[in-house]
Structure 1
Amino acid sequence: MYKPNFNKRSVVKFTHFSNHSYSLFAVLGKEVIIGVLSVATLQHATAHNRSIEAMQTSNDTTATNKSILMDEVNVAGTRAPLTVSQQARMVTVLSREDIQAAPVQSVNDLLKYAVGVDVRQKGALGALTDVSIRGGNSEQITVLLNGVNICDAQTGHNAFDFPVDISEIERIEILEGPAARVYGTSSLLGAINIVTKAPQNSSLTAHAQGGSFGLFGMGARGNIAHGAWNNQLSASYLRSDGHLRSKVGNLNADYNTLKSFYQGVYNDEAILVKWHAGMSVKNYGSNTFYSSKFDNQFEHTFKTFTAIQAENKQGRLHLRPSIYWNRSMDRFELIRNVKDKIPFNYHRTDVYGANLNAYFDWTLGRTAFGAELRYEDLVSGNLGEKLNRPRPIHRTDRMYTNGLQRTNLQFVFEHNVILDRFTLSAGLVAVKNSQADMNMRVYPGIDASYRIGSAWKVYASYNSSLRMPSFTELFYSVGGHKADKHLLPEELSAVEGGIKYNTQSVNTKASIFFNHHKNLIDWISDGTLDESGATLWKSVNFGKINAIGVEANVDFNFLHLIPSQHVVKKLSLGYAYLHQNEKEHEGIVSKYALEYLKNKFVANLQLNLWKQLDLGLNYRFQHRMGSYLDINNLRHKYASYGIVDARLSWNTTNWGAYLEANNLLNKSYVDYGNVVQPRMWIVTGVSVKL
C-alpha cells in the first residue's frame, strides 16, 4: 500500500524521461519540472495534466521539446483522482495540440475523429449536432464544462451550445461506457468534459476566419495573471449563409452564434477556487430538422452558465464543493417568421445544482464519497403539465402555460485499492428522482487493471447507470410528434475488457464491450400520419436491446520511430464495430435506437512540410444501420460514406495562419434523415498573440 505525504514539497528537475511507464510515479507528491515529454495523440490518450503550459515547441528529431510544469497527474475515470499508473479505466483525451491540428471549427466537428463517438450533424459548423457514444443517442451522455454538468434537461439536441470558442479549449476528455460513479446517473453511455484554461502569464490573443457559404468569424481572448489570481475574458462571433435553400429559394441552413466567457482562478498552496460565467446565443435555419413536411424551420437558443468550484490542497481529507446555475431559453418556429399560422414554441429551463465530493487516503487505499442535488425547472408553451399560474414570456405578449419541476438526488461511494501493478476500483451510486416518484435505486460498478512490465496493461470493468427521460421525450406532442409522459427511466449495465500498450513510439489499445439496455427510449414511426398529413413520431420505451462492440486504436510517433527524418510526425488509426440484437421491424422506423454506427474507421496523418509549415490529413468512413423517411414518406437505407479533410498551417510563437478543406472529395452524404450535408468547403484564418 502507499502512504502519501501531503505537506512536504520538494522540487525535482528532469531533462529527459527514461522510456519506463513508472518513471513519473517515482516522484509523486513533488513539484516536477520536465524538459522532454511526448505529446498525446488524437485517437488515444489515458491521462491529462491538471496544469499544462507549453513554453516552446520545435521539430526535434527525437521528440517535441517542451518546458512543462506538472503539479499533479489525474485521471477522470474514477471519482477520486488517480495517477496514470494507478487507473483502472481508460479515458480518451484530445489535447490542445490535437485541437490545433484538426481541420475543424467546432467541438462537434472535432469529435468526429474520436472512433467511439457518433456525431450526427443536421447543419454545418455545429448548428445542430447530436453527439452520442457507443450506439446511443444525444440524451444518453453527460456533457460537462470544466467538470460541471451542463446537460440540457429539455433536450439533448442543444447540449453542445458551449459559451467557449474552440480556440480556448485546453483539452477534451471522453469517458466511454456508463460513468455514473464519476459524473452522475445521466451519463448512461459515457461523458464528454470540455476543459478550458487561462495561460499562466498575462496575454492577449485574437483570430479571424472566412470561407465558403458566406462563413465569417472573429474572436478575442485576454487574461490578467497576478500572483495567485488569474482572470480571463473571451468573446467570439461566427456566421454562415448555409449550404441549403428552401423550395421557394430562401436560406434555410444559415447560422450565426455569439459566445462570451469569463473564468477566474485563485490558486495558492492551501486552496484552489475556480469560477466561470458564460453566454451562448445562437440562431439557425432548421431546414427539415424536426419535420420533413416543413423545409423552412428556424430555431433561436440563448444559454447562460455560472459555477463556483473549490478544493483544499492540504490535509488528509480533500473536499471539492461546487454550485452551479444554467439557464436555457429556446424559441422554435415550424414556419420561419410566420407565427400567426403556427404559433412559435417557447421554452425556458433553469437547472440549479450543488455537489460535494471528498476523498481521503488510508491504510487500505483511497476512499471517495459525494452527494449531488440537482433541481430542474421547465416552463413552456407546450411541454409539461398545466401551470396554476402562467408566467409571461419575455418580449412577447404570450405566457408560459405549462411546466415541470423535478429534483434529482444522488449519493456516491467509491473505494480504490492500489498495489504496485494492480488497481481495483469499486463503488456505487444511489439515486432518487421526484418526477419518476421512484424509490432510491442503486447502481454498482467495479473496474480492475493490471500492469504487465513497463508498457502493457490489461483492464476489465462492470458498470451500470440510469437516465431520466428529457422533457421533450415526455411532453413534446406537436409538429408531427406524440410524446408519452409515463415513460420509464432508461437503465444500462455494461461489461468491458481490453488491453493497452504504451511507449514513446507506439501507443495502442483494443477493447471489447457488451451493453444491456432496459426500457430504452426512442422515437418511432409506425406509418401513422398526423392531422396535417405529416409522419407521426411517438416516444416509447423501446424495450431491451443488447449490443456488443469492439474498438481498436494505434498511434505511431514517427519522430521517435525514425528520428533521422523530419517530415512524417504522427499517424493514427482507429476502428470501431458495433452490433445490436434488435432489428428493424416491418412498418416501424426508428429515429435513434436502431440508427447506430455499425462500422467506423478514422485515420489521421500529420506532416511537417517545411520549417513551420504543417499539413494534416484526416479520413473517416462510416457505415450506419437503420433507415429514414424522405419528404414523400418513402423509406431509404443510410448509405456508407468516406470523407477526407485537410489542414495546412503555418505556426510561429506570435502568429499563425491556416487553410482548411472539409469534404475534400466533394462527397454528397447525409448524417441524419434527409438533411443533405455540405460538399467541399474551404476555410482560412489567422491568429495573433500579444
Structure 2
Amino acid sequence: MYKPILNKRNVLKFTHFSNRSYSLFAVLGKEVIIGVLSVATLQNATAHNSCIEAELTSSDSTAINKNIALGEVNVTGTRAPLTTSQQARMVTVLSREDIQAAPVQSVNDLLKYAVGVDMRQKGPLGALTDVSIRGGNSEQITVLLNGINIGDAQTGHNAFDFPVDISEIERIEVLEGPAGRVYGTSSLLGAVNIVTKTPPQTSLSAHVEGGSYGYLRAGSRANLARGKWNNQLSGSYTRSDGYLRNKAGKLNADFKTGKAFYQGNYNDEQIAVNWHAGMSLKDFGSNTFYGAKYDDQFEHTFKTFTAVQAENRQGRFRIRPSIYWNRSMDRFELFRDAPEKYAFNYHRTDVYGVNLNAYFDWELGRTAFGAELRHEDLVSGNLGEPLNRPRPIHGTDRNYTNGLNRTNVQFVLEHNVILGRLTLSAGIIAVKNSQADMNMRVYPGIDASYRIGNAWKMYASYNTSLRMPSITELFYSVGGHKADKHLRPEELSAIETGVKYNTRYVNGKASVFYNHHRNLIDWISDGTLDENGAILWKSVNFGEINTMGVEASLDFNILNILPSQHILKKFGLAYCYLNQSEQEHKNIVSKYALEYLKNKFVANLQLNIWKQLDLGLNYRFQHRMGSYLDTANNRHTYASYGILDARLSWNEAKWSAYLEGNNILDRNYVDYGNVAQPGIWMIAGIKIEL
C-alpha cells in the first residue's frame, strides 16, 4: 500500500534487502520496484528508455528523489501512474527497438504486427488505413499523441494522420478493451498512444529511402539540449506514383505527404513542462476507396496539432493540467479534378480541449481524479445542420453551409491499492454530451492482478464505456450514403481474464475476453440503389452484438537462451481468435461490424547474419469474416491470406543501411472489398545519426 510522500531530503543507504514483512520492498514482493513513480503521466505514458525518475519511500515516509535505471517503465493502464509489474491491465508496448527492426514505413504498417489489432488498408504505407481493436472499427478507438487525444470528430478514416515521422517515435502503447476511465469515453474498444521523445543531448539525424512505384521518403531531425531546456524540430516528405489504375487507365492510388513537428520541454526539480506543435499534409488518389462504382476519387487533408502539458514534481499531491487545439481540414473529390461533375465536399473541424488530472497517496492507497472539457466544432459543405451564417471556404468562392457544435464533459474518479502481490484498481467515468439527448451517464470499471513469484501474473477486469457517433455517421448522405442524425451512442461492457509470464528468456501472455455491444453503429446495404445506380449504404444502430475472443503470444530471447551462438536473436508467435454471436442477415451486407478478423496469426524472427548484418522476417495470416458487393451488386466472401515481409540491414553506431520487402511472396489480397492491395514492394534506404 502506498505511504504518504513528504518533502524531506534525508539520504538513505541500503546495504542489503530482505524479504521480511517489515522490509521496504515487501509491498512489491521480490521484485525491486522502488516506491512510486514521480512521473505523473496520468494520461501520458512517456518512457525515457529504461531510466525512470522514481521516488524512494521508506517505512517512515521519507522520500528521496533521484534517477534510477530500472528494467521496467511506466505505462498507462490506469488513470494514475503505475509501473508495468503493478498494472492490473495488460498494455501491449511496441518499443523503439521493435519499430527500428520492422519492415514498415508508417505507424499504420507497424500495427499490423499487433495480434489484437485489425489494420485494414485502402492504400499502402499509411495512405489510408482504418485501425480497429478486437473486432471493432476505426471509430471505436482513441488515438493519442503524447497522451493528447487527436481523434477527429468528423471521421475515424484519417485518425492516423500524425505530424511525426515514424523515425521520431519512442514507443507505441496499445490498450485493448474499454478504456473510458483512462483515456475518455471515445475509447470504446481500446486506445493507441504514440509517444515521442527529445534526446537528452544535442543531436542531428537524417534518412532517405526509395523503392517501387516511384516511392520516396526523406526526413531529418535537429535537437538542441541546453541545461533544463530541450527543443526539437523534425520534418519529412513521402510520395508514390501509386499501384492502381482507374478505368481510364490513369494511376489513381498515388499519394504525397508532408509532416513537420516541433516539441520542447523544460524540467527542473519542481516542475516539468512539455509542449508540441505539428502539421500533416496529405494528398492521395482514392480510386474505389469510398465506393466501388467510382474509381477516380481523390482526397486532400491538412491537420495541425498544438498542446501544452505541465506537472509538479514535488509534494504528496500531483497535478497535471493540459490544454490542446487540433484542426482538421478535408476536401473530398468524387471525381478527381472535376467539380463540374460533382461538387467537392469541404470540411473543417476544430477540437479544443482542457484536461485536469491529479493523484495523491494516502494510507489507503493511491487516488486519482480528473476532468475534461472537449469542444468539437465542424463546418462543412454537406455535413451537419444548416448554419445561420455561412462561412467562406478558404481558396474557393464557396461557403461552408452546414455545421455542428457539441461539447463533451467527463469526470473520472479512480482508486488503486497494492496489497503485497495484489493490485486492485477501480473507478468510474461520468460523461455528458451536448449533442446527444441524454442525461449524464456513469460507466464503472475494476481491474485486479496477482503476482505469483517473480515471473507469473494473473489478472481480471470488468470495464464499460460509450462512444458518440461521428459526424459522418450522423450526416453523410451523399455519394451512395444515407445517414441517420438520430443515431444513439454506442455502449460496451467487457470482461477479461488472463495470465502473463515474464523472464529474461521467455515472455508470454494469454487472455480470454467477452464484449457486449449495445446500439452498435454500422453502415449496411440491403440492396437498395441510389439515384446514380450505386449501392446505397445506410448508417444504423445495428443492435446488440456479443464477441468472445482468445489472445495468446510467446516471445523467445534466443540470445539469452543460447548464449553460445549469435545468429538467432529473437523469435515470437501470437494468435487471436474472435467469434461474434451476430451472423449476416439475408440480403443485408455490413460494411464494418460483421467484417471482423476471426483468426489472426503473426510470427517474427530476428537474425544476425554476419557482423552488423541483421535480417528480420515478419509473417501474418488473416481470416476475415463477412462479405462485400462488387460493382454488379454480386456478393463475395473475403479470402484468407498470408503475407511475408522482410528487412535486411547493416547497423553501425552512427548510421544504418537497409533493404525492405513487403509482400515478398507477391500474394493477391484485399482488406476492403474492391480495393486490391499491391504485390511485392521493395524499398532501400539509409539513416545517419550525428
TM, length-normalised to structure 1: 0.93
Does 1:25 pair with 2:32? yes
**8 Å CA contact retained: 2:117, 2:134:** yes
Distance (Å, rounded) in 1 between the aligned partners of 2:87 and 2:104: 31
Is contact 1:4–1:29 with CA below 8 Å preserved after alignment?
no
Structure 2 counterparts to residues 237-636 of structure 1, below 5 A: 237-636=237-636
* Residue 675 (structure 1) aligned with residue 675 (structure 2): yes
SS in structure 1 opposite 2:261? Answer: strand
SS at match of 1:25: coil
> Counterpart in 1 of 2:23?
none
Q: Distance in 1 between matches of 2:91 and 2:576?
A: 16
2:112 partner SS: helix
1:44 is aligned to none
* 511 and 309 in structure 1: CA distance in 2 versus 1, 3 angstrom threshold: same
C-alpha distance in 2 between matches for 1:444 and 1:31: 27
Instruction: Report the alpha carbon displacement of residue 412 of structure 1 after superposing the two structures with TM.
Output: 0.2
Once residues 317 and 418 of structure 1 are traced to their aligned partners in structure 2, the CA distance between those partners, rounded to angstroms, is: 19
* Counterpart Cα distance in 2 of 1:75 and 1:50: 8
Q: Is contact 1:356-1:372 (8 Å) kept?
A: yes
For residue 611 of structure 1, report the CA deviation from its aligned partner: 1.2
Aligned match of 1:205: 205
Picking from 40, 48, 51, the partner of 2:48 is 51
Q: Matched residues in 2 for 1:371 and 1:653: separation?
A: 45
**Residue 3 of structure 1 corresponds to which residue in structure 2?**
3
Does the 8 A contact of 1:49 with 1:72 survive in 2? no
Corresponding position of 1:644? 644
What code does the residue aligned with 2:289 have?
F
Letter in 2 for 1:562: L
Q: Alpha-carbon deviation of 1:551? A: 0.0
Q: CA separation in 2, counterparts of 1:159 and 1:249?
A: 31
Distance 1:72 1:342, change over 3 A: same
* Structure-2 change in CA distance of 1:31 and 1:491 (3 Å): closer
* CA deviation map 1:582-620 (0-9, x unaligned): 001110000000000000000010001111111000000
Query: Any idea what SS the aligned residue of 1:518 has?
Result: strand
Deviating 4+ runs (over 3 angstroms): 4-14, 20-32, 67-73
User: Which amino acid is the alignment partner of residue 440 of structure 1?
Assistant: M
Which residue of structure 1 aligns with residue 57 of structure 2?
A: none
C-alpha displacement at 1:7, in angstroms? 3.7
Superposed CA RMSD: 2.0
Q: Structure 1 residues 551, 582: closer, same or farther in 2, change over 3 A?
A: same
CA contact (8 A) 2:5 2:315 kept: no
* Secondary structure class of the residue paired with 1:386: strand
Cα offsets for 1:1-51 (capped at 9, x unmatched): 23254545769999xxxxx9966635346999xxxxxxxxxxxxxx97632
Find the aligned partners of 1:682 and 1:6 in 2 and give their Cα distance: 58
C-alpha distance in structure 1 between counterparts of 2:30 and 2:483, whole Å? 56
Distance 2:387 2:115 in 1: 45
Identify which range, 603-612 or 638-647, moves more after superposition.
Answer: 603-612
Question: Contact 2:526–2:587 (CA<8 Å) still a contact in 1?
Answer: yes
CA deviation vs aligned residue, 1:45-100 (integer Å, no higher than 9, x gap): xx97632279xxxxxxxxxxxx9945994220000001223211100000000000
Query: Are residues 540 and 619 of structure 1, via their aligned partners in 2, closer, same or farther at CA, if it must alter by over 3 Å?
Result: same
CA–CA separation in structure 2 for the residues paired with 1:97 and 1:68 = 21
Whole-angstrom distance in 2 between the partners of 1:511 and 1:451: 16
What is the aligned partner in structure 2 of residue 236 from structure 1? 236
Give the Cα–Cα distance (whole angstroms) in 2 for the partners of residues 547 and 318 of structure 1.
39
TM-score by length of 2: 0.93
CA separation in 1, counterparts of 2:206 and 2:503? 37
Deviations 1:111-164 (A, max 9, x none): 000000000000001110000000000000000000000001000000000000
Cα drift, residue 334 of structure 1: 0.1
Q: 2:614, 2:30 → 1: CA distance?
A: 32
SS state at 1:157 partner: coil
Question: Retained in 2: the 8 A contact 1:50–1:72?
Answer: no
CA distance in 2, matches of 1:11, 1:650: 46
SS in 1 for 2:533: coil
Work out the CA distance in 1 between the residues paired with 2:124 and 2:659: 17
In the other structure, the counterpart of 1:61 is: none
Q: CA deviation at 1:627?
A: 0.3
Going from structure 1 to structure 2, the CA distance change for 1:634 and 1:26 (only over 3 Å counts) comes to closer
Q: SS where residue 108 of structure 1 aligns?
A: helix
Structure 1 Cα separation of the partners of residues 282 and 296 of structure 2: 17
1:58 maps to: none
Residue of structure 2 equivalent to 1:36: none
- Please state how far the C-alpha of 1:508 moved relative to its aligned partner: 0.3
Unaligned regions of 5+ residues in structure 2, if any? 16-25, 52-66
1:434-472: per-residue Cα shift (whole Å, max 9, x none)?
A: 000210000000000011111111000000000000000
Q: Structure 2 counterpart of 1:441, which letter? A: R
Pair 349,545 (structure 1): closer, same or farther in 2 beyond 3 Å? same
SS at match of 1:156: coil
Could you say if the C-alpha distance between residues 635 and 49 of structure 1 is closer, same or farther in structure 2, counting changes exceeding 3 Å? Answer: same
- Deviation of 1:411 after TM superposition, in Å, equals 0.2
Q: Are 2:166 and 1:154 equivalent residues in the alignment?
A: no
Three-state SS of the structure 1 residue aligned to 2:309 is: strand
What secondary structure sits across from 2:327 in the alignment?
strand
Unaligned 5+ segments in structure 1 are: 15-19, 33-46, 55-66
Residue 689 (structure 1) shift: 1.1
Q: Distance in 2 between matches of 1:453 and 1:687?
A: 43
Cα distance change, pair 395–31 in 1 and its aligned pair in 2 (3 A)? closer
Q: Note if contact 2:391-2:399 (Cα within 8 Å) is conserved in structure 1.
A: yes
Q: Please tell me the residue identity of whatever aligns with 1:589.
A: V
Q: Is the 8 A contact 2:45 2:195 kept in 1?
A: no
How far apart in 1 are the matches of 2:601 and 2:71?
Answer: 36
2:502 alignment partner AA: N
Aligned length: 659
The one-character-per-residue Cα deviations of 1:644-685 (angstroms, maximum 9, x if unpaired) are 000001111111111000001000000011100000010010
Given that 2:264 and 2:276 are in contact with CA atoms closer than 8 Å, whether structure 1 keeps it comes out as: yes
Q: Structure 1's 250 and 8: CA in aligned 2 closer, same or farther, altered over 3 A?
A: farther
Q: Match of 2:102?
A: 102
Aligned partners of 2:396, 2:424: CA distance in 1, in Å?
57
User: Using the alignment, how far apart are the partners of 1:400 and 1:597 within structure 2?
Assistant: 39
Mapped contact 1:5–1:29 kept (Cα < 8 A): no
SS at match of 2:167: helix
| 1:347 alignment partner AA | H
Say if 1:22 and 1:112 are closer, same or farther in 2 by CA, change over 3 A.
Answer: farther
1:227 matches 2:245? no
Deviation for aligned residue 1:631 = 1.9
* Structure 2 CA distance for partners of 1:139 and 1:645, relative to 1, 3 Å: same
Cα distance between partner residues in 1 of 2:655 and 2:120: 33
Contact 1:50–1:71 (CA<8 Å) still a contact in 2? no
Answer with 274-283 or 79-88: which moved more. Answer: 79-88
Which residue number corresponds to residue 187 of structure 2? 187
What one-letter code is carried by the residue in structure 2 that aligns with 1:379? V
